[in-house]
Amino acid sequence: MAEKQDVAVLGATGSVGQRYIQLLEGHPNFQLSEVVGSERSAGKSYNEAADWRLSDAPPTRVSNMILKHPEEPVHSPIVFCSLPGGVARETELKLASEGHYVFSNARDNRMDDDVPLMIPEVNSDHSKAIQVQQKNRGFAKGFVVTNPNCSTIHLVLALKPIWDAFGIEQCMVTTMQAVSGAGYPGVPSLDMIDNVVPYIGDEEEKMEIETRKLLGSFNGNAFQYADIQMSAQCNRVPVRHGHLETVNVKLRKQAGPEEVVEALRSFRGRPQELGLPSAPEAPIIVRDQPDRPQPALDRDAANGMASVVGRVRECPIFGIKFVVLGHNTIRGAAGASILNAEMLMADGYMG
Amino acid sequence: MAEKQDVAVLGATGSVGQRYIQLLEGHPNFQLSEVVGSERSAGKSYNEAADWRLSDAPPTRVSNMILKHPEEPVHSPIVFCSLPGGVARETELKLASEGHYVFSNARDNRMDDDVPLMIPEVNSDHSKAIQVQQKNRGFAKGFVVTNPNCSTIHLVLALKPIWDAFGIEQCMVTTMQAVSGAGYPGVPSLDMIDNVVPYIGDEEEKMEIETRKLLGSFNGNAFQYADIQMSAQCNRVPVRHGHLETVNVKLRKQAGPEEVVEALRSFRGRPQELGLPSAPEAPIIVRDQPDRPQPALDRDAANGMASVVGRVRECPIFGIKFVVLGHNTIRGAAGASILNAEMLMADGYMG
Amino acid sequence: MAEKQDVAVLGATGSVGQRYIQLLEGHPNFQLSEVVGSERSAGKSYNEAADWRLSDAPPTRVSNMILKHPEEPVHSPIVFCSLPGGVARETELKLASEGHYVFSNARDNRMDDDVPLMIPEVNSDHSKAIQVQQKNRGFAKGFVVTNPNCSTIHLVLALKPIWDAFGIEQCMVTTMQAVSGAGYPGVPSLDMIDNVVPYIGDEEEKMEIETRKLLGSFNGNAFQYADIQMSAQCNRVPVRHGHLETVNVKLRKQAGPEEVVEALRSFRGRPQELGLPSAPEAPIIVRDQPDRPQPALDRDAANGMASVVGRVRECPIFGIKFVVLGHNTIRGAAGASILNAEMLMADGYMG
Amino acid sequence: MAEKQDVAVLGATGSVGQRYIQLLEGHPNFQLSEVVGSERSAGKSYNEAADWRLSDAPPTRVSNMILKHPEEPVHSPIVFCSLPGGVARETELKLASEGHYVFSNARDNRMDDDVPLMIPEVNSDHSKAIQVQQKNRGFAKGFVVTNPNCSTIHLVLALKPIWDAFGIEQCMVTTMQAVSGAGYPGVPSLDMIDNVVPYIGDEEEKMEIETRKLLGSFNGNAFQYADIQMSAQCNRVPVRHGHLETVNVKLRKQAGPEEVVEALRSFRGRPQELGLPSAPEAPIIVRDQPDRPQPALDRDAANGMASVVGRVRECPIFGIKFVVLGHNTIRGAAGASILNAEMLMADGYMG
C-alpha cells in the first residue's frame, strides 16, 4: 500500500465529524483531502466554521482547509459520512452511484436489505452484500457500508463471543449514555447537571433491531436476522464520552462466568487477523476489579477502540449478567467507520 | 393525640440523621427531644458537630441541642436510628429491650425472622410480627421495626400494585443511584465527575432479598418470602438525591401498559386510609411525558414521599418495562421510618 | 388590599417565565390571569407548550391556561416580562403606553435615562423617575420598571450596606454563574460536564455599568451614576441554580471585617419596612462557616430571596474581600420583578 | 547521557504519585526503580495497593513492583516526593542528608530560606541556593528542591513574562480548581455535584506568598521576595483536572493587551533553551477564541505541560485582566518536579 487513498469527510464540523478529523490525522492508509460542511459553513475555513469540542485544537493542516458546499462534487474515492439521520440517505446513495466508497455513521441506510451493517470483528462476511447492492442499484463500483449505533456496537462486540460459544436466547440491556452521543449543542446542561434523563429517542428500537441484523447471517441474497430476543432501556447520564451498559443474557448452552470471561478475552476477529491499523490488539478487555469499567477510567483503553467488560457474574434469572463500556464517538462512531474502511480496503473491495 | 411523643434520633449528625432532623421539624405527632451522636461528637452542640449538607441550616432549636454519648441513657419512648450497618444491631436490640419503640434505617436487623421490614403501603400487616419478636426476645413493650434499603423501597412501591393485580414471576432492575445514599463524605468526587461507577457493595443482594420479604406474608409465626425471581444491577451516578431504576417485569397474568398504569395510579395503602401526616396523597405518581421521571425534576414530588413512575410500555421479553424514581433519603430512608412510626402509633402499637 | 390584581406573564414558557408562574402561585396580591407565549406556542395549553424544568409540574390551574399570541391584546393591568433581550424593548414600551404597569427582567430598557433599574432595598427612590418617563413618553399611567441582571443583583445587594457605611472606591468581582441563567436549552452539556467556560457574552459590561446606575441617585430629572470603579470577570460553572461571586472592595473609609459583617447583617430596606409579601426578613444573610455560601446549600435561603455572604476578610490589596451567592432566577430575576411590583403597589404607583 | 538514572517515587500510590508513575514511563533520562508507599501498603504490589484513578491502568512493569516501607532505605539517587504536607519535611531532609537529590511536591520545605522553590522557566537561577543549603545543613551532595502549589505554578508562569516586560505592582486572582488537586478520596461528591465550594484550606496564603518567592531573586545568600501585592480567592469546582484562574494585574509600565499577548507568546525559558524532554515548545499558549481556555478542552495542551492563557483585555481598574488555565497534576505537580530534575541534571547539579 504505497500510496495513501484520498478521503472526504461529510458533516465534518459536527461532533462525529471532528472525531473523523482527529482519527484520520497521521493515518497510514488514508489522507484527508476534502471536508464537506453545510450550506451555512461552506466556503469558510475549517477552523472558523467548526466549534471544535475535542481536546486542544484541530490539526493545523485541517484548520486551513476550506469547507465544501454539500452540493459540490467530491473527488476522493473514499467518503466518511456523519450527516444527521434523515439527511444522509440520498446523499450517500448518490455518492455511491458516482463510484465512491461510502462509510456511513448515519442511521438512514443501516437497515436496508442490501446494505451491510458492519462491525469488522462481528460480521465481516456481510461485506458480500455489497455485490447485491451494486447489482440492485446499478452501482458500477461504489457502495454504502454502515456501522451501527454507538450503543449497539459495544453491546454486540461483547455479545459476539458469547453468541459464538454458547448461543444467546434473550438479552436485556440498560444503557447509561454519554452526552457526546447527541452531538453539539445536543443535550442541554440543565438536563444533565444533577440529573439523568431516562429517554433517548428511537435508541431502544435501534439497539433491539440492529443487534439482530449484526448477529445474523448473509445468505448470498439477503440478511437473516438472528434469533435473539432483545429488550433495551436507554438513559442519558452526565458523562462526556463513554456509554456504559448493564447486560443480562440467557444462554442457549449453560456456562459460568469464568467460561464467559474466557470467551471474551480470547476473542479475536478479522481486523486482528489482518493487523489493521486501527484494530485494537484485543477487541474486548475484561477488567477484574469489582467496580470497573468506568467511563472516566476505561473509555480510552486501546485508544478508544476496545469494548471494556467487567463484573461478569451469575444472574439469578438469565444465568449471566455483566457490564460493558465503550467510547461512543471513537469505536462507537468515527473509529467504527474507519475500521470498516481499513478492512474492505485490505479485502480488495476498493479497487 | 393531644400531646406529642418525645423522640430521639441516633446517628443524628449523619446524612440520614440530618433528614430525620429536617422532617421531624414541626411534626404534628413527634417532638425531637434527644440527639445522639458518636463518641467523638458527644457533648458538642448539634450545630458544631454536624456537617449539615441539606439546604440552608438545621432548625435553630436543634442547632443548640447537645449531642448525647452513644452510651448515655435515652429517655424518649420513640427512637429513630440511622447508625451505620454493622454497628446498629446491638444498640437497637438493647433499646427495644429497655422498652423503646425503635424504627431503624440500618440493615442489621432487617432480615431477622421476627423483625418487620416494612413499607406501610406494602405490608402493614407484617407489624403482627412484633408480638412474636417481643415474646422471642423477652421485650416487655419495646420493639425494632425496620425499613428497607433506599433503592428497594421505590422498586417495591412500584411493584406492589402490579403484584396485587397481575402477579409477578420475574423482575430485573438496573439502578442509577444518587450519591447521598452513600452518606457524607461518601463517594469521592473524582469517582463522580464525568463518570458512573457500576458497583455498590452489597446493594444488589439487598434488593434481591428484601423485595422477597416485603412482598411476602407473615403467617402469624414466620415470614413467607414471596415467590419472585429477582436480578439487580446497581450503579452510582453523579446525582445528589433521587434513585432512578429501569425495571422489567414478567407478569403472571397478562396485562398491557394501560392496565398497569391504572393499577399504579389507583394504588392506595394503609397510610392513605389513616390519613397519616407524612403520607402522600397517592404513593405512586405516574408521569405521562416520555422523558420522565428525572431525578432533578421529580424527586421532590409529594415532598419526596412518593415514587414516580414513567415510560410504562411493552417489553419484548418480559411483557412490561418501566422506569421508577424516588427520593432516597426521604421516602428511601428517614421518611420511611417516620411513616412506619406514624402508622404503628395510629394502630395502637405504641402504648 | 381586598382584591388581587390581575397579572400577565410575557415569555411565560421560558426559564424565567416558569419562575414567574411558580412564584405567583398563591401570591396574596397578584392573580395570574394571562400567559403570553411566542408565535409558535400561541393557542396551546401552557402544559403542552412549556418544557417545564422546575421541580414537579406547573400548578394545575396554569397548566390548562391557553397561551396568548404575542400580538393579542393584554387585559391585566400588571405585566411581568421575561422576553429575550433584543425583543423586549418595543413590546414593553407599547404595553406601558397602553396603561400597563410593566415589570421587566429584560435588558433592553434597563439603561434608559428615564427607566428605573431597581432593587427595592437598594434604590427604591429611583421610582421617582416614573413620572419623568410618563411625561417624556406621553404615558397616561403605565410605565416600565426593570430589574438588573441576575449576577448584578446579588453583588449590589451585598455592596449597598458597605457603600452606605464606608463608601466604595473600587470593586473587582469574579462570578461563577449557574446554567439556568442562560435559559433552556441554554448551555450545552458538553460545555458543562467536567468544565468551566470563562466567558458569558456581555455579562461583564452589564455588571460594570448596572452597578453604577443602581448605586447612583435620581435627582428629579436624571440618574447620577455612582462614582465607583468596577471590573468583572464572568464564568459559567456546572451548577443548576445560584450565582457565586468573589468580591474585592476598596473602601473610602477604613473598616475591618467585623464592621462590614455588622453592616451587612443589620441592613434592611423598604421591602422589610413595608413587610412586602416576597421580602426576606433580612436581605443579606451572613454565614460564619469558612466554606459557605455554596450554591447547593444556600441558594434557597429565605426562599431564594436573600443574598448570602461569607468569608468576609481582609484583602491585602483592597482592604476587604468576601464571597456572595444568590439564586439567579428567584431574587436574580422573577422574584426581583415581583418584589418591585409589590413595592410600587404599596407605594401607590399602581392606581 | 548514555544511561538512565534510577529514581524512586515516595507517596507512589497517591494522586500525584500516580502521575509521577505515568509521566516517568518511557522517560529518556529517568528509570523508575523504587516505589515507596505507606506503612499500610508496604509489601504489596503496586497494582494491589494503588487505587489507580488515571485512565486505563498503571504500566505493567510498575504494576508488579513491590511497595517499600517508608523506613526502608532508598537506593535511587533521585527521589520524587509527593508525601502529604506535614509528613514530608523530615523525610525529605533525611534523604537529602543521605546524598539523594530530592524533588518535592510537598509544601513543607517550600518556604525555607535555603530551599529553592522553582519553576524552571521562571527562576532557574534559584538553583544557586542549593550550595547554601548543602553548607547550612551539612549535606555532602544531596539537596531538596521544591515546586510550588498547583495553582501558583500556572499563575506565575503567566505572570513572569509580564513581570519581565512591564513590571507588576498588584495582582488579584480568583481560582476555580479541579478536584484532583485534593487527592483521592479528596473532595466528597456531595460537595461537587451542582455545587462550588468557595474555600480551600491555606491555598490563598500559599498563592500569595509563593508568588513572591518565585518572582524574587537569590542574592547568593538569601532569597529576596518580589515586591508585588497579591490577593487570592480560591474555589473548588466540579472539574476533574485543570485549574482555571481569573487574573487582574496592575503593571508598573503601561501596556495594552496586544503587548501583553506578545510578551506571553514569545516567552521561552531555560527548559526550552536546553531542550529538556518534558519541556513544552512554548510554556505559554495564548488562545484567541473568546471563550477559552476551558479545562476540558485545554488542560492537555502540550501534554499538560503548558499554561494556557486567554481573554487578555483591559481591566478598568488595574489595566490588564486575563484568564489562565493549567493541568494541576501534570505541570502543576508531578510534571513540575520532573522538569526541575531534568534541568538540574542538565545543569550538572546531580553528580
Shortest alpha-carbon distance between residue D78 and chain B (Å): 30
Q: Is B244 part of any domain?
A: yes
pLDDT band at A351 (very low <50, low <70, confident <90, very high): confident
What pLDDT shows up at residue C324?
98
Contact A240 C190 (CB under 8 A): yes
Q: Is D315 a catalytic residue?
A: no
Judge if D126 and D187 occupy the same domain. Answer: no
Pair D18, D141 in one domain? yes
pLDDT tens sequence across B54-92: 988 999 999 999 999 999 999 999 999 999 888 899 999
| D140 and D171, same domain (yes or no) | no
Interatomic CA distance for residues B148 and B104, integer angstroms: 9
| B351 located within any domain | no
The DSSP H or E segment spanning B165 is helix B150-166
Confidence of residue B2 (pLDDT cuts 50, 70, 90): low
Give the domain CATH number at C277.
3.30.360.10
pLDDT of residue C311: 98
Percent of chain A topping pLDDT 70:
99
C316 and C212 together in one domain: yes
**D237, three cell numbers:** 469546582
3-state secondary structure chain A: CCCCEEEEEECCCCHHHHHHHHHHCCCCCEEEEEEECCCCCCCCEHHHHCCCCCCCCCCHHHHCCECECCCCCCCCCEEEECCCCCCHHHHHHHHHHCCCEEEECCCCCCCCCCCCECCHHHHHHHHHHHHHHHHHHCCCCCEEEECCCHHHHHHHHHHHHHHHHHCEEEEEEEEEECHHHHCCCCCEHHHCCCCCECCCCCHHHHHHHHHHHHCCEECCCCEECCCCEEEEEEEECCCCCCEEEEEEEEECCCCCHHHHHHHHHHCCCHHHHHCCCCCCCCCEEECCCCCCCCHHHHCCHHHHCCEEEEEEEEECCCEEEEEEEECCCHHHHHHHHHHHHHHHHHCCCCC
Q: What is the pLDDT averaged over residues A138-161? A: 98
Does the CB of B198 have a partner CB in chain A at under 8 Å? Answer: yes
Average the pLDDT over D121-129 and give the result. Answer: 98
Q: Do D189 and B194 touch (CB under 8 A)?
A: no
Catalytic residue among C150, C171, C234, C241: C150
Q: Is residue C184 part of a domain?
A: yes
The answer to whether D244 faces chain C, any CB pair under 8 Å, is yes
Residue B112 lies in a domain: yes
Residue D190 sits at the chain B interface (C-beta within 8 Å): yes
- Pairing, β B78-81 against β B30-36: unpaired
Q: In B169-186, which positions are buried (b, 16+ CB within 10 angstroms) versus exposed (e)?
A: ebbbbbbbbbbbbbbbbb
* Residue D276 pLDDT exceeds 80: yes
Chain A contact partners (≥3 CB pairs within 8 A): B, C, D
pLDDT band at D2 (very low <50, low <70, confident <90, very high): low
Closest by alpha carbon to A119, among A215, A39, A28, A36?
Answer: A215
What is the DSSP pairing of strand A217-218 with strand A223-224? antiparallel
**Quick check: A186 contacting C, CB < 8 Å?**
yes
pLDDT tens-digit readout, C29-76: 999 999 999 999 999 999 999 999 998 899 999 999 999 999 999 999
Are B143 and B162 in a shared domain? no
Do B274 and B172 share a structural domain? yes
pLDDT digits (tens, 9 = 90+) for A314-347: 999 999 999 999 999 999 999 999 999 999 999 9
- With cut-offs at 50, 70 and 90, classify the pLDDT of residue D1: very low
Q: What percent of chain A has pLDDT over 90?
A: 97
Using the Cβ of C209 and the Cβ atoms of chain D, whether some distance falls under 8 Å is answered with: no
Q: Does a structural domain hold residue D351? A: no
Q: pLDDT of C234-266, one tens digit each?
A: 999 999 999 999 999 999 999 999 999 999 999
**Beta strand B168-177 pairing with B217-218:** unpaired
pLDDT classification of B1: cutoffs 50, 70, 90: very low
Q: What's the pLDDT score for residue B56?
A: 84
CATH at residue C19: 3.40.50.720
Contact between D248 and D314 under an 8 Å Cβ cutoff? The reply is no
CA distance A205 to C28: 50
In this predicted structure, the answer to whether residue A19 has a pLDDT above a threshold of 70 is yes
Establish if A51 touches chain C: CB-CB under 8 angstroms.
no
Q: Do B244 and A295 touch (CB under 8 A)?
A: no
**C-alpha D273: how far from chain center:** 20
Do A192 and C194 make contact, defined as CB atoms within 8 angstroms? no
Residue D150, pLDDT > 80, answer yes
Can you tell me whether residue B8 is helix, strand or coil?
Answer: strand
pTM for the structure as a whole: 0.97
> Within an 8 Å CB–CB cutoff, is residue A240 touching chain D?
yes
Q: Indicate which residue of B81, B150, B171, B234 is catalytic.
A: B150
Taking a C-beta distance cutoff of 8 angstroms, is the pair C267, C121 a contact?
Answer: yes
Could you tell me if D39 and D156 lie in one domain? no
* Nearest-angstrom CA–CA distance, C68 and B178: 40
Residue B97 lies in a domain: yes
Per-residue pLDDT, averaged over C270-298, amounts to 98
User: In angstroms, rounded to a whole number, what is the distance separating the alpha carbons of residues D6 and D23?
Assistant: 15
Assess if residue C351 is contained within a domain.
no
Residue to substitute from B15, B176, B189, B200, interface D, most D β-carbons within 10 A? B189
Structural domains counted in chain B:
2
Does residue B150 have an active-site annotation? Answer: yes
User: How many C-beta neighbours within 10 Å does residue A73 have?
Assistant: 9
Nearest CB among C239, C248, C290 relative to D199 is that of C290
Same domain? C203 vs C82? no
- pLDDT recorded at residue A2: 53
- Judgement on whether residues A229 and A258 belong to the same structural domain of the protein: yes
Selected residue with higher pLDDT from A118 and B351: A118
A229/B316 CB distance under 8 A: yes
Cross-chain CB nearest to B291 (options A199, A295, A296): A199
Question: How much is the ipTM here?
Answer: 0.96
Residues 6 or more apart whose CB falls under 8 angstroms from that of C65 comprise C32, C34, C35, C45, C46
**Domain, as residue range, for B158:** 150-327
Q: What is the pLDDT of residue A1?
A: 47
Would B258 be classed as within a structural domain? yes
In this prediction, residue A245 carries a pLDDT of 98
Q: How far is CA C22 from CA A239, C54, D214, D238, in A?
A: 31, 9, 54, 29
Distances (CA, A) of C287 to B151, B326, C159, C325: 35, 32, 16, 11
Are D121 and D85 in a shared domain? yes
B156 shares a domain with B297: yes
Residue B319, C-alpha cell as written in the block: 411483557
Q: Are residues D138 and D268 in the same domain?
A: no
- In chain B, the residue whose alpha carbon lies closest to the alpha carbon of A315 is B231
How large a percentage of chain B has pLDDT more than 70?
99
Q: Work out the average pLDDT over C120-127.
A: 98
- pLDDT over 50 at D230, yes or no: yes
